[in-house]
Structure 1
Amino acid sequence: MVDVTLDEADGSMALVKIQAETWELNIRAPKGDLMQLREVRDAHWDARRSLAIGTCADAPVYWATSEGRVTILIGPDDEAWDIAVVVPLVAVDEIVSLVQQRT
C-alpha cells in the first residue's frame, strides 16, 4: 500500500509524493505531462516501452507496467536506471485523478 499526494509548485508544475511506511519518492513534473500517465497501461516493460514523465533528484523518471504493477525507474534512461520502485497501478490512477481535480 502506498499513499499519493499532489502539491502544486506553481500553476503548471506539480510535486507528486508517493510514500510507503519505509520510503518516500518525490517527483516533479508539469501537470500536463502527468496526465500522460493515463497511458501507462500501454507502456509494457516486456515490450521495452516506458513513459518519460518528470524528474526526481534531478534525474529523469520513466514509468512502465509489468504484471499489473507500475515500475518507476529513476536514472539516465529506462535501460540503465539508478533507482526502481514498484507501485500498484491504482497509485498511478490516483495521480491522474488528483491532477484532473486541480486543472
Structure 2
Amino acid sequence: ILLTKTRDMNHCQERIIKDLGLAYTEKCDKCQEEYKNLRGTSSFAYTMKPVASGVMILKAHVNELIQFSPFAESNGAAQMETKQSLVLLEIAKDPIPSISAEYR
C-alpha cells in the first residue's frame, strides 16, 4: 500500500507551523500579502503492509521545502530543505527487560 500526502504551507490554518525555525525574523503581514515572502510545501510518502492487527508502516519519506524572501522577489530568497527517511528494519519479539535501578 502506497500513501502520499502533500501539504501546502502557504495556506496553513495553524501559523505555528510557519514560524518553525524562523525565531529571529520579524513578521511583516504587509510583505506577506504583497510579495508572499514566506512559502513552503511538504510531502509525505508511506509504504505500508496490511497485517492481521491493522497496517504496518514499512517506510516513510518526508521532504519539506521552505523559501523565505526578506526583501522583494527580485533580490533573491533563502531556501531550506529538510529530508527524512525512516525504514523498518526488523521486529523483535524479545521482551524489554525492566530496569533494576535505585530511584531517590
The structure with the largest alpha-carbon Rg is 2
Q: TM-score, normalising length from structure 2?
A: 0.27
Q: TM-score, normalising length from structure 1?
A: 0.27
